Chains A and B, each alone.
Chain A
Amino acid sequence: MSKFKLITDGLIKNNPTFVLLLGMCPTLATTTSAINGLSMGLATLFVLVLSNMAISAIAPVVPDKVHIPVYIVVIATFVTLLELLMKAYTPAIYEALGLFIPLIVVNCIVLGRAEAFAGKNGVLSSAFDGIGVGLGFTCSLTVLGLVREILGSGSMFGWNFIGGNDGMLAFVMAPGAFLCLGYLMVLFNKFLKK
């Protein structure tokens, strides 16, 4: 499989949010604005690429029965690393995403890619797979965040275009997350089927 196809697969055919429906918890909770969605996506991308590479490198020597615990330890290490780095250098973003950064450990996309791809493929392919799926997640979250931000607070990437705080509040709250996600999923799959 070509490296390029690995990336487009992650973006479109295996899009974690709109096609595989993985990682719904951070998807619904952190996409209150485009910036938050983008940062959450990039944080996951970081963990995904590094854990995919590390896991594909050690997979040949990991005994079958303990492979899940070993993968989780590796993933948790990268997540904690990310957490420390964000606390030190981007405290504002860390605060906005809060609990959802440590929760990347149990994000099923990361363990899912480790199981389904990184454990059976080489380091380079796994890195590209991580980039593809991570970008897919990032784009989905940014789009979802953007739609919710436009409808909910009348702004785009923090730039307010209606002047004032009079958006449709429901879209910033949980019900709006479900509604937007549902409709975006319909749109995405409609174009995918064509």
Chain B
Amino acid sequence: MSNRKAMKVLMVILIACLFITTGCMDTKKKGDAKWALFKTTNPNPAVLNETSEEFAFSEEIHKFVLSFPEIYDAAIVVGDKQVLVAYKVKQMQRFKMKKIEKKLKKKLEKKFKDQNRKFTVSSDFKIFLEVVELNENLKDEKYSRKKAKKHFKKIIKLEKEKT
């Protein structure tokens, strides 16, 4: 097969793969979620039960997480019994990722002991993206809260997945 022909075949296969895989996409990401992987978004923390105490609590967590010098972006969702904290670590600090995760979880649990909630912290980009997406959805008042809780559970399950 000549080189030009081989290139053409390869291009067709690659483009076909691209179309097939992107065709599987079911929903379009909106708002901040579009660029959450690449830009600093720092979204306002979201709460599943919209009460003023919950909002205050989530704001407090957000401030606390951003007070860490290694962290530059944080997305938070406060649920009934669980709090999900997704964050981005500064590039050169990524070598100490595990250490930062442990430190953050320990300090969060210590500071908000009285809240009796389980903290799930993650520096994973996917978790961050999902949290921002959930946050964007929660801004829409028509979005059902039942769906939001389901999405929240799905993110926590995804965080626990290792392989």
Question: Is B a genuine binding partner of A?
Answer: no
Interface residues of A (CB under 8 A from B): none
